[in-house]
Amino acid sequence: MKNKLRTESETIKTEVVCPNDTNPMGLLQGGRLVEWMDIAAAVCAQTHAEKICVTASINNVNFKQSAMVGDIITIHANITRAFTSSMEIKVSAFARKVLEGEKYLISEAYFTFVAFDKIGESTPVNQFTPITEEEKSEYDGAMGRKLKKMC
């Protein structure tokens, strides 16, 4: 197994909120946003592990603000910690009003992915060494979140 940096799997996904992504009030549906966040997290996990990965859990999806038709959504996915066969990915979603240029956080969540081999068995993943203080804080927090799920 390799030891990889966060930047090697960092994923950025961009979407435009279209009418079919919204509710009758023209607000982005939460389920659509979670779908987009899950795709970004999956790309990040699979890039890090260099294997097929599946979503095992989503921890605390928080919707902080809404987005509307025409807004540009930018989703950032970064690994926070690699365990044996699973990884935690932090996903942050931002909206930007095209005309105003204002960018603001609309949602954050932690996704856990498990890597699988060619016969469908869970398999070890590449490790991750945190470098910055932010990475170290997220790395330590990931263990706490994992232990909390196990209780």
* Spatial separation of the C-alpha atoms in residues 79 and 135, rounded to whole Å: 9
Backbone torsions φ then ψ of 103, nearest 5 degrees: -115, 130
Q: Which long-range contacts (CB under 8 A, 24 or more apart) does 95-102 make?
A: 95/17, 95/28, 95/65, 95/67, 95/71, 96/71, 96/72, 97/71, 98/70, 98/71, 98/72
Residue 75 CA to residue 146 CA, distance in Å, equals 23
Question: Which pLDDT tens digit goes with each residue over 3-28?
Answer: 999 999 999 999 999 999 999 999 99
Summary mean pLDDT of the chain: 95
CATH of the domain at 70: 3.10.129.10
Exposed e or buried b for every residue in 85-117, given b needs 16+ CB within 10 A?
bbbbbbbbbbbeeeeeeeeeebbbbbbbbbbbe
pLDDT tens by residue, 65-108: 999 999 999 999 999 999 999 999 999 999 999 989 889 999 99
Q: In this predicted structure, what is the pLDDT of residue 114?
A: 98
Instruction: State the residue range of the domain holding 39.
Output: 3-150
pTM of the full structure:
0.95
Q: For residue 126, is pLDDT > 80?
A: yes
Count of structural domains within the chain: 1
149 confidence band (pLDDT: 50, 70, 90): confident
